[in-house]
Structure 1
Amino acid sequence: MPANPKYLNPSFWPRFSKITAAILGGYFVSVTFHLALAAWFSRKDILITMAFSGFILWVALMIIAFLAKSGWKIWGIYILLSLLFCLFIYLGQTYNTAQ
């Protein structure tokens, strides 16, 4: 049974933005989240855990990207989350090296 045409998006750019947001954006958010945790907690434990939880988070973020109505909106959300986690990384490294 073929897909209903009203759910298919014939334009290239919306599909491209969703696919890249799912793959690249989800990866960036997943990695920066775990690096932010590693900046504040035991680095070794977090990075070992990242091998499994990072993949699970990445897949969840991929699914969210494909469920979103706009690929550009999800790109914006993923970039903002990545920047927020980068701020946490910076603050964690600054705070933990000052002690």
Structure 2
Amino acid sequence: MPANPKHLTASKWQRFAKISAGFLGGYLVAITFHMALCYWFNHVNIIITSTFTGFILWATLLVLAFLAKNGWKVWGIYLLISLAFSGLIYVSKLYFPIS
């Protein structure tokens, strides 16, 4: 049974934004999150567990990108979150350098 067209995204740009935000933006958020955790906890344990939790986080962010109405807002949110985690990584490098 085909999907009801009223629930599908009509714009090709919105579809592209949702797909790219889900795949690339979700991956960027998942990776920066785990990198930020490496400076606060034992980095060996975080790297080992990130193989599983990174996939779970990425898959969740992928689904959330498709639930939104506007794909460009999702991109903005994912970039802001990644920027926040990157700032946390920068500050953490100053105070907790990994030896």
1:4-19 matched pairs, under 5 angstroms:
4-19=4-19
For 2:45 and 2:89, the matched residues in 1 are separated by 16
Partner of 1:32: 32
For 1:55 and 1:5, the matched residues in 2 are separated by 31
RMSD: 0.8
Partner of 2:82: 82
Q: How many residues align?
A: 97
Q: Partner letter of residue 21 of structure 2?
A: A
Instruction: Check if 1:70 corresponds to 2:70.
Output: yes
* TM norm structure 2: 0.94
For 1:86 and 1:9, the matched residues in 2 are separated by 32
Give secondary structure in 2 for the equivalent of 1:2: coil
Gap regions ≥5 residues in structure 2: none
Q: Partner letter of residue 76 of structure 1?
A: G
* TM norm structure 1: 0.94
1:10 Cα deviation from its structure 2 partner: 2.5
Return structure 1 stretches of 4+ with deviation > 4 angstroms. Answer: none
Once the two structures are aligned, what percentage of the paired residues are identical? Answer: 57
Partner of 2:56: 56
For 2:9 and 2:58, the matched residues in 1 are separated by 24
Gap regions ≥5 residues in structure 1: none
